[in-house]
Structure 1
């Protein structure tokens, strides 16, 4: 959909307020209450026009120098905020290992390098995220049903009404403190579905320094890729 020169995707739900997001790919998405008519949504877009322009310009600036990783000896790949050099191995039973401070990838699997790394992040990520959920869920007072680590397009995480949580495998590139923020963010959404004052107050109670993690994701998210 588009309004004048602003293209956007629209999703309606039982939420009470309207929210505008600049996604990680630079697209504009809008979440609106189901009763909202298109005219009212466009009024909000018009009121937020300067904010949208400013954030799109910032997104372009941050993504202009996005890293492009190659599967060659010495290339750096990030796991939990630390960069590990890649070493291509001639003989290795496992496709990918993190060992002796290096990522070890079978040389004959280079053509599947991205898929192999994604599988690594998903497998390791599920265990790590479940550990962080076990730490924070009792503090927030929520119970989690199922947890998955997968490809989430433009979101770091998502939650459903039945207590299921999903996390992007790219989250595992972030430092543990930032990963914790992503986990807390989704856990609090089990209490408050909107990003209203109640939501942010609940995040603040568990993680008073959450703002610096939001900033880190904003400035480093573009480089969390393969």
Structure 2
């Protein structure tokens, strides 16, 4: 396929979009509450077609054809996936580190001098880096959460790490704090802002002026952190993701 070739929707099975030398999979979901056909671009899954329970696959694919210009425009905005591989670059607290396989070394994973060293067999490297990033994220987040909670005299019932796309953190009515492990990839002042934001919800379960005043007291540089997230947040979803296409 040439660089300027028009996108081609291949109905499969399984269906995919052939575009600009790539084979981009189309994931089909049937959410229980979906009332109409929708399409979205997922940073990790590629093209996601949402079908109501009674809608046919044919109707969904026809909808994709009608939205092909919008789909290809937004696909081009997605950053290329960066799987956990030997030689890949990964930001840790905002500083780039090179993943370096050291099969002859003992141990598991450790960071030193701008490198993330991974011991053991090559086939275990992606899983070991994944486990290490979650462990490091939990450690860093826990330190900030405990400090902020002490400052405003509140308590939380636990910290859970997830990998959601729509939000970086949340606070439940039971006092549990939930965060994306990808906070580890942000500069420390941005990560700590998100933690401060969720800890402040332990006192104010809303976004009132009192809430934002408390966040400002905990983290005086809210505006720069928000600006960084707006400019760079979406890029963080490319790390640790296998390629979305078959190229």
Secondary structure at 2:174's aligned position in 1?
Answer: coil
1:68 aligns with 2:75: no
Any unmatched runs of 5+ in structure 1?
9-22, 26-59
Q: Is the contact made by 1:24 and 1:155 (CA closer than 8 Å) also made in structure 2?
A: no
Query: Among residues 161, 165, 177, which one is paired with 1:149 in the alignment?
Result: 161
Inter-partner Cα distance in structure 1 for 2:96 and 2:115? 9
Match of 2:144 in 1: 132
1:186 aligns with 2:198: yes
Inter-partner Cα distance in structure 2 for 1:134 and 1:84? 27
Distance 1:210 1:131, change over 3 A: same
Cα displacement (A) at 1:2: 7.5
1:83 aligns with 2:96: yes
Inter-partner Cα distance in structure 1 for 2:196 and 2:182? 16
Inter-partner Cα distance in structure 1 for 2:136 and 2:95? 15
Query: Among residues 196, 202, 205, which one is paired with 2:214 in the alignment?
Result: 202
Cα displacement (A) at 1:120: 0.9
Q: Is the contact made by 1:24 and 1:221 (CA closer than 8 Å) also made in structure 2?
A: no
Match of 1:30 in 2: none
Q: State TM-score, norm by structure 1.
A: 0.66
Q: Is the contact made by 2:89 and 2:96 (CA closer than 8 Å) also made in structure 1?
A: yes
Any unmatched runs of 5+ in structure 2?
1-32, 45-73, 241-247
Cα displacement (A) at 1:156: 1.1
Q: Is the contact made by 2:92 and 2:184 (CA closer than 8 Å) also made in structure 1?
A: yes
Query: Among residues 117, 120, 135, which one is paired with 1:123 in the alignment?
Result: 135
Distance 1:209 1:24, change over 3 A: farther
Q: Is the contact made by 1:118 and 1:169 (CA closer than 8 Å) also made in structure 2?
A: no
Q: Is the contact made by 2:105 and 2:119 (CA closer than 8 Å) also made in structure 1?
A: yes
Higher helix share: 1
Cα displacement (A) at 1:65: 4.9
Cα displacement (A) at 1:136: 1.4
* Larger RCO (CA under 8 A, 6+ residues apart): 2
1:216 aligns with 2:228: yes
Inter-partner Cα distance in structure 2 for 1:113 and 1:157? 28
Q: Is the contact made by 1:87 and 1:104 (CA closer than 8 Å) also made in structure 2?
A: yes
Question: Map of 1:50-61 to 2, 5 A cutoff?
Answer: none
Cα displacement (A) at 1:114: 3.9
Q: Rg bigger for which structure?
A: 2
